[in-house]
Amino acid sequence: MQELPDELISQIAAGEVVERPASVVRELVDNALDAGATQITLRLLAGGVRLIGVEDDGVGIPPEELPLALRRHATSKIRSLQELESVGTMGFRGEALAAINSIAEVSVLSRRAGADGAWLLDGATGELKPVARAQGTSVEVRELFFATPARRKFLKTDATELAHCIEAVRRHALARPDVGFAIWHEGKLIEQWRAAATPAQRIADVFGDEFVAQSVAVEHQEGAVRVSGHAGVPDAARSRADQQFFYVNGRYVRDKVLAHAVRSAYEDVLHGQRQPVFVLHLAIDPARVDVNVHPTKIEVRFRDGREIHQAVRHAIENALAAPRAAAAAQAGE
């Protein structure tokens, strides 16, 4: 028996966190948001396989901490189990950059708020050198999976990988209308969502005015659960479940309890395989939801699943009933 070398441990961890370029995009944008960025720019080459660059204007990383950012289990976000239980940041595992650095060529360039210079760290050599940059951080990830060709074989066409990368940013963008996002691919600007938008404006920017015009606002408090967002009217339903977004305390999640609650709310008004469209945000006490279920943090576990199910179901049922009640009242006048 032997202990595995550090590099291999990171590569094994990377297998869980990084499935494709979009996984890297998600981790880097998470970090930018945790750093308080107001503008995030993504630059991709070949659907992200050749290059994923994420630039932000967040608080930055001091040069002495740059090497630490690429080390396993190094994080500035939590210090104790207690802090984990009420974690408010997207990240907390201190794993993503180390994992990505073990399966790609990584560089991190950062200028800390208030510092008079920026520093560039080469992830392969650990070399640190001074460069010019405004406040914030740029992370570049090149040649993803170059060291793990088996993984590289599973990648789809550049167009498909690009679509997944855009979807990853879209998930963040819908949660953070206050932050501006831009996506460049092969030197062309392909998406741009302005900062300081309202939630409805952001949905319209991302999906078009149609989505908002054909949806009702959801605003519902039940016990300790607050549900808000937009739910499409039955006529707006689609054949594919591609416009369904759940957030728990700002984190995009996929969850059976939530999916089932929505399905039951639409039960009487949607037929066959029609899929409702929605962007729903749940605000609950962070101590009542476990986000540390899986390294990708896309799954969560609720302490009070039934309460949450009811709150979501009622939130949508009420929202869908409101315009009909208003229309009926008008017709009766």
Per-residue binder mask for Mg ion (CB under 5 A), 61-100, x = binder: ------------------------------x----x----
Which partner in ligand ADP, Mg ion, none is near 21 (CB below 5 to 8 A by kind)?
A: none
Of 31 and 110, nearer to Mg ion (C-beta) is 31
Question: Contact with Mg ion (CB under 5 A): which of 10, 11, 23, 31?
Answer: 31
Of 17 and 236, nearer to ligand ADP (C-beta) is 17
Residue 233 one-letter amino acid: V
Q: Which of residues 130-189 bind ligand ADP (CB under 6 A)?
A: 137
Of 31 and 215, nearer to Mg ion (C-beta) is 31
Measured between its terminal Cα atoms, the distance across the chain in Å is 82
What gap in Å lies between CA 88 and CA 74, rounded to an integer?
A: 17
- Smallest gap from Cβ 275 to ligand ADP, in A, equals 33
Binding of ligand ADP at residue 91 (CB under 6 A)?
A: yes
What gap in Å lies between CA 75 and CA 95, rounded to an integer?
A: 8
Q: What residues contact residue 112 under an 8 Å CB cut-off, 6+ apart?
A: 59, 60, 61, 62, 63, 135
Contact (Cβ atoms closer than 8 angstroms) between residue 115 and residue 62: yes
Q: Report the C-alpha dihedral over residues 168, 173, 176, 177, rounded to 10 degrees.
A: 180
Binding of ligand ADP at residue 94 (CB under 6 A)?
A: yes
The first and second tokens of residue 140, run together, are 């570049």
Q: Which residues bind Mg ion (CB under 5 A)?
A: 30-31, 91, 96
Q: Which residues bind ligand ADP (CB under 6 A)?
A: 27, 31-32, 35, 56, 58-61, 69, 75-77, 91-98, 137
